[in-house]
Structures are given as structure tokens and as C-alpha cells.
Structure 1
Amino acid sequence: MRADARKNRDHLLAVAGAVITEQGADASMRDIARRADVGLATLLRHLPTREALFEALLRTSFDELTATAGELETSSSPDDALVSWLRAFVACAHNYRGVVALMMAAIEDTQSALHSSCVAMRAAGTRLLVRAQAEGTARTDIDGTDLYALAGALAWLNDQPASAPRADHVFHVVVSAILTSAGNGDAERAA
């Protein structure tokens, strides 16, 4: 990609990120174009669909979350790693209000531009869960799909203005439900 085209795309993504953070995942493409001071056709030339926009915005964050899981695997105890990853997942999803629904749909839709990033992110969380289960600090009756759903639910809760004040409390409740009693003290320190 030419340098000027890359600069234009980066500008569009920066503006889109700000608009979506402000208005949520349903923000108007027209509004994004207007705030970027370009025509809608220019926006659509760079980012032809809403999904392409979200894929461009989120792929880097999702890939970083996957990398974070890898780092946590080698640098933290299994339960601390799992709790830290869950907290990072919730923070990542919370950056763009309303993105949780897209993430949850993309994991099942192989045609989605977000599918591979979401699958990699779920696999990373699954590895952390399996490691904690093997260590005896996490329940063995849940799997990576359950963990991804719980993480999505926690992220969704943060997006709800009425529930946001209780989100941290609910996070701790969910963590204590995932970790066995052997890991609960560690979970509170990590959270």
C-alpha cells in the first residue's frame, strides 16, 4: 500500500475508533466519514463494510490479547494467568461499546472477517484454562467455549451503564466460580 493510502486508512481507523468508542458498534458509517472529513465513498473504498471496519480496528487488539495469553503462560501461575487474561479480555472488548455481539457471532461464522482472530483468542484462553485445570486450580466441568462465553458476558456487563458499577464485583464472582477453592486466594490477588 502506498504511503499516502496507508496514512488515509490510518486516519479513517483513528476517527472510526473514536466514533465507535463514543457511540458504540452501531455508529453510522456516514457519521464516521463526516467526522473524518471524507466522503462516504472514500470510507467505503478503504473499508467496504462495517465488518471490514471492525476487523481492521479489532484485529490488532485481539492479536495482542492472544500474545498476552502466551506471555502469561510462561510468566504467571496458572490461576493468576487465567484471571489476568480474563481481565485483559474484558478491557479489550470494552474499548468499543457493543463489540461483544460481533465477537460472539464471529466465533461461529467462518465467513466473518473477525473469525480467525476470535478463534485464536478463544484458543489462547482455552490453553490458560486447561493449564489451570491441570494444576487443580480451575473447575474441570467448563471448557474454552464456556470461558469465551463468560468473558463475553463480563465484557457485555461493562457496557451496560446500570450494571457498570457492579461489574468488578461480578467479575470476582465469576472468577471464584471458575477457580477451585485452592485458587481463590490467588484469584483475588490477581484481579
Structure 2
Amino acid sequence: MPEGLRADARRNYARILAVAEEEVAAHGAGASLEQIARTAGVGSATVRRHFPTRQALLEAVSRKRIEALCNRARDLAGSGDSRDAMLEWLSDVVAYCVSARGLAAALSYDGNRADPAHENVCSAALEEAGDPLLRRAVEDGAVAKGVTVADLITLIVGIVLATESYPDPAGRADRLFRLAVAGLSPQS
């Protein structure tokens, strides 16, 4: 919650955020801002004052999930096989994105931004948290040099957004993620 707000503004913020979490869970990233305002009992200008863009609203709704994913990356950073640790974390990111409607959209690059890594709070946090996992896997020769966490997040976002309308989006997203990780070559 932003600091320095009056008590009534803090209450409005909390109420808008709670309603937005429910609306995004039910309707995804395209949840109606007007419906959020009506349900929260505030005007649409109040919603826009607290969340000037849809991206700002999605980032606020996703903040707790992003923090959990960052904590998970830190937990895995020094454990076991570096490739397995990185893939376990990335699988968690896929699972969170599938289960938390709107999270993939919160992580996606908006072409209107000059520098997506610094403009997108959610992606920037995940990139920072995942970097030690990826760096260790590259150092161990388990992942090709030049791969970035931003590349991997973009891949995950694409997979999640492409599979969200499938009857089993989680299963389909996981399958496509595993296929992307393994590549198209037959296993020997």
C-alpha cells in the first residue's frame, strides 16, 4: 500500500485491491475497471488515481505471488543440481501464472515502454530473483550462455497466454514448457 495516504484513501486502496483481486481471478487481465470501481463502492476516478494504468493494477494484484516466487528462487539458489533448481523454479512460475489469472499479463512486455526491465515491477523482481539460479546453471554448463531470465519469462508468458483457453490450461502449459526446455530432438 502506498505510504503517506490519508486513512480514507488507505481504506479505498485496500477495498479496490481486494475487489480487483477477485475480478482478475474471475475475468483475467481484462477485468473491467468500471466493475471494480462499482463493486468497491468508489468512482472510476478513484480507481485510476490509485492505479493509473491497468498494468499498475495487475502489478498490485500480483505482488504477493511475485514475492512468493522470489522467495522460492532464493530457497532454490544453492540447492542440488543447478539445472534442476532453475527448472523447478521456472515450473513454479508457469504454475503460478496459470493459476493466477492476470499474472502472465502483469509480466508481459508492453511495447509502449522504452525499457521493460525497469518499467515492469513484476518482471524486474523475478529477473533479479532468478538471476542467481540462471547464472549458476550457466556456470555449470547446464544452460547455454546468453540466455537471460527475461528470455525465460517471455517464453513462459507466451506459453501461458497461448494455453489459457484450453480445457486443461495447467497441463497444456506444463507440457509446452517441458517441450521448450527439452527441445524438439528425440531423447537418447
TM-score tier after normalising by the smaller chain length? 0.7 to 0.9
1:175 and 2:181 matched: yes
Deviation at 1:12, TM superposition (A): 1.4
Q: 1:66 to 1:167 in 2, by over 3 A?
A: same
Q: 1:31 aligns with which of 26, 30, 35?
A: 35
Q: Which runs of 5+ in 1 are unaligned?
A: 182-191
Counterpart in 2 of 1:115?
120
Counterpart in 2 of 1:11?
15
- Structure-2 separation of matches of 1:161 and 1:84: 23
Q: 1:138 aligns with which of 109, 122, 143?
A: 143
Give the structure-1-normalised TM-score. 0.74
Which has the larger helix fraction?
A: 1
1:149 and 2:149 matched: no
Identity, % of aligned positions: 34
Counterpart in 1 of 2:95?
91
Please list the CA deviations of residues 79-135 of structure 1 after superposition, one character each: whole Å capped at 9, or x if unmatched.
221112112212332344354344221596448985244123123323312211222
Counterpart in 2 of 1:160?
165
- Structure-1 separation of matches of 2:35 and 2:177: 34
Q: 1:99 to 1:73 in 2, by over 3 A?
A: closer
Please list the CA deviations of residues 139-180 of structure 1 after superposition, one character each: whole Å capped at 9, or x if unmatched.
446333322222222322442325724223223222323xxx
Deviation at 1:30, TM superposition (A): 0.6
Q: Which runs of 5+ in 2 are unaligned?
A: none
Give the structure-2-normalised TM-score. 0.75
CA RMSD of aligned residues (A): 3.2
